[in-house]
């Protein structure tokens, strides 16, 4: 084994960027692709001189050390349920390789971004302070990612997200170390507006959103596409996170009698809205 020949090998950060960016759309595929490329990388990059020439720096993994990957998810807050599903997908991918790579134990180290910028920043600092982590998988919420990305990028730490959809993360705030394998909000909101206008024949619409960046981005993009096509937005109501009673907003919405209602909401607000509409 290569690990027996040298006391330490290094993984260039720039190569790790391609390693993450080559991931598939699913969480399982993301980690599987990561591990396959690690195999290729380690075979090619072991150098007796152990010289690091990568501008973003290198990671050192010694013969008996585990290979640590941070799972920076949003275990508490609005995306806790989705984060649990992502966590299960990551664990399945590791188990598929017997939690091992070239004789090194693969370990996920959990961190909680809390679906907040403050949580993302705090977790990023913890990851960097650890000193042993090779890369980051996450986040689920774009809010926590927005704060974590610049901190991780400053230290050359790669992060790939299975679920971040805010366009600004890869447009107005481009980072050389951040990648995502999910579509962005502009794509899904454009498609929804196109479906409403062309397929359903809707010419008027109402929007119910909340105050998160996710919901605001979707509502704005839907509005732009729908109105450009010739549609009219009759009403836009805003819910607070966790708001259960939406009777007032619903009454105002129904008075406008829109052809369609667009609601880019999280759970449980989306479920509350649907239930109260039927009531």
The CATH number assigned to the domain holding 202 equals 3.40.50.2300
For residues 28 and 77, membership in a common domain is answered with yes
Tokens of 175: 């980072």
For residues 173 and 261, membership in a common domain is answered with no
- Name, in order, each residue with C-beta under 8 angstroms of 4's C-beta and a sequence gap of 6 or more: 63
Domain edge (last residue) among 147, 164, 180: 180
Confidence label for 267 from pLDDT (cuts 50, 70 and 90): confident
For residues 194 and 274, membership in a common domain is answered with yes
For residues 174 and 222, membership in a common domain is answered with no
- Cβ contact 162:179 at 8 Å: no
Domain edge (last residue) among 123, 150, 180: 180
Average pLDDT over residues 180-199: 94
- Cβ contact 54:90 at 8 Å: no
Average pLDDT over residues 231-252: 90
pLDDT digits (tens, 9 = 90+) for 6-31: 233 344 444 333 333 333 333 344 44
Question: How many CB atoms are closer than 10 A to CB 116?
Answer: 18
Of the candidates 137, 134, 118, the one whose C-alpha atom is nearest the C-alpha of residue 72 is 137
For residues 192 and 136, membership in a common domain is answered with no
Total number of domains in the chain: 2
Confidence label for 233 from pLDDT (cuts 50, 70 and 90): very high
pLDDT digits (tens, 9 = 90+) for 49-73: 567 887 887 778 888 899 999 999 9
Domain edge (last residue) among 133, 148, 180: 180
In this prediction the pTM is 0.75
- By mean pLDDT, which of 90-94, 132-136, 169-173 is the weakest? 169-173
10 strand-pairing partners = 60
């Amino acid at each position: 084994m290569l690990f027996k020949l040298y006391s330490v090998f290094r993984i260039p950060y720039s190569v790790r960027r391609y390693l993450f960016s080559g991931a598939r759309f699913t969480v399982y595929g993301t980690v599987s692709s990561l591990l396959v490329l690690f195999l290729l990388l380690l075979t090619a990059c072991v150098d007796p001189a152990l010289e690091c020439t990568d501008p973003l720096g290198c990671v050192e993994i010694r013969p008996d050390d585990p290979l640590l990957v941070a799972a920076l998810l949003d275990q508490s807050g609005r995306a806790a349920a989705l984060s649990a599903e992502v966590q299960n997908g990551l664990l399945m991918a590791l188990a598929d390789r017997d939690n091992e790579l070239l004789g090194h134990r693969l370990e996920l180290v959990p961190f909680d971004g809390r679906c907040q910028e403050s949580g993302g920043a705090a977790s990023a600092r913890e990851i960097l302070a650890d000193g042993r982590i090779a890369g980051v998988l996450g986040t689920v919420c774009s809010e926590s990612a927005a704060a974590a990305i610049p901190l991780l990028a400053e230290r050359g730490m790669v992060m790939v997200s299975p679920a971040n959809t805010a366009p600004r993360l890869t447009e107005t705030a481009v980072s050389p170390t951040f990648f995502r394998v999910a579509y962005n909000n502009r794509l899904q909101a454009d498609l929804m507006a196109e479906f409403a206008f062309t397929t359903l024949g809707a010419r008027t619409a109402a929007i119910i959103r909340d105050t998160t960046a996710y919901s605001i981005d979707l509502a704005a993009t839907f509005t732009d596409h729908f109105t450009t096509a010739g549609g009219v937005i009759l009403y836009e109501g805003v819910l607070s996170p966790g708001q259960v009673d939406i009777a007032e907003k619903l009454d105002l919405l129904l008075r406008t009698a829109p052809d369609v209602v667009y609601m880019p909401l999280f759970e449980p607000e989306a479920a509350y809205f649907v239930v109260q509409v039927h009531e």
